[in-house]
Each structure stands twice: as C-alpha cells, then as structure tokens.
Amino acid sequence: KNTGKKGYGKDMKLLIDTNVILDMVFRRKGCDDSMKLFRKIKDYGYVAYITASSVTDLFYITRKVLHDTGQTYAVMENIFKLVTVLSVTEKDIMDAFGQKWKDFEDCVQYMTGKNSGADFIITVNRGDFEDVLLPVRTPAEWLEEAGM
C-alpha cells in the first residue's frame, strides 16, 4: 500500500540523521515533523535506517541527559522499533576520511548511507550535508515532497 507520490515506493531507504531521533526523544523543536515522518514510514512500509555509529551517539547523549542507564536502554529499545541499523564498514570510514569534512561523524553517516544505497538523508541540519550526491531533506520537506 502506497498512496504517496510516484517514485516513493515501498523499497525506499531513508537514512535518518541522529538529530531527527534526538528531537523526538527529547521533544525538541521540530519533533512533531519527526514523529509524523516515522508514522508515515510505518504506514507506507518505507525503511528507516540509522548508522551503527549513530547508535553509540544516541546512547551517549541520552544517558548524559537522563542520568539513568536503565531509562537510556528503554529509550534505545523504542528507537530500535523504528529503525534498522546499518553497519559502518571499513570502506565507509576510509571513504569518509578521504573527504576531509569538518564534521567527520556526518561524513561517516553520509558515506554509510551512500554505500548502502540510501535514497535520502533526513536531517534537521541540511547544512551538515552540503555538496553531496544523495538528496538531503528535513522531515517536513520530505513529507511535503512525498505528498503526505
């Protein structure tokens, strides 16, 4: 079932940037768009990915904010219900290293998504992914383009 725009089929792969997840977890500005994005991903059968390096970042940041390891594991369990984790390979790391981006972490995410066949990067900080080959959208932009 897919009633979104043509080209937005069930096999679409969306690489979700860490900040989109953090917006939802901590109810930050923009969290409504991020929550709507995940509802649509589920409703239409799209696949949302985060990188393995995002998992460690999410755990670290969540534990630092919550000051509770048990609660952090509970948050992470809920995140894993929403996303599939992409392995970060040596090729992803070396490709990112060769790019010499100011923010190496963002470049690792980009290269992992690119090398894994992601169709879009979904982020709230589009400027983190300038001059890349993959389309980069905010949650609101992606929802609008997909006709949702």
Nearest Cα neighbor of 141 from 33, 46, 41, 49 is 33
Give per-residue pLDDT as tens, 112-145. Answer: 999 999 999 999 999 888 889 999 999 999 999 8
Write down the pLDDT at residue 6: 46
pLDDT tens column, 8-32: 666 789 999 999 999 999 999 888 9
pLDDT for the residue 8: 62
Strand order in the sheet with 120-122: 84-86, 47-51, 13-16, 120-122, 136-137
Supply the pLDDT for residue 139: 96
For 106, the enclosing helix (H) or strand (E) is: helix 104-115
Q: Which two tokens stand for residue 12?
A: 């679409």
Give the pLDDT band of residue 7 (cuts 50, 70, 90).
Answer: low
- What is the identity of the amino acid at 124? V
Tell whether pTM > 0.85: yes
Confidence bin at 4 (pLDDT 50/70/90): very low
What's the pLDDT tens digit per position in 33-85?
999 999 999 888 889 999 999 999 999 999 999 999 999 999 999 999 999 99
The DSSP line for 111-136 is HHHHHTT-SEEE-S-GGGGTT-SS-E
Give which of 86, 96, 81, 92 is closest to 52, Cα–Cα: 86
State the Cα–Cα distance between residues 135 and 132, nearest whole angstrom.
8
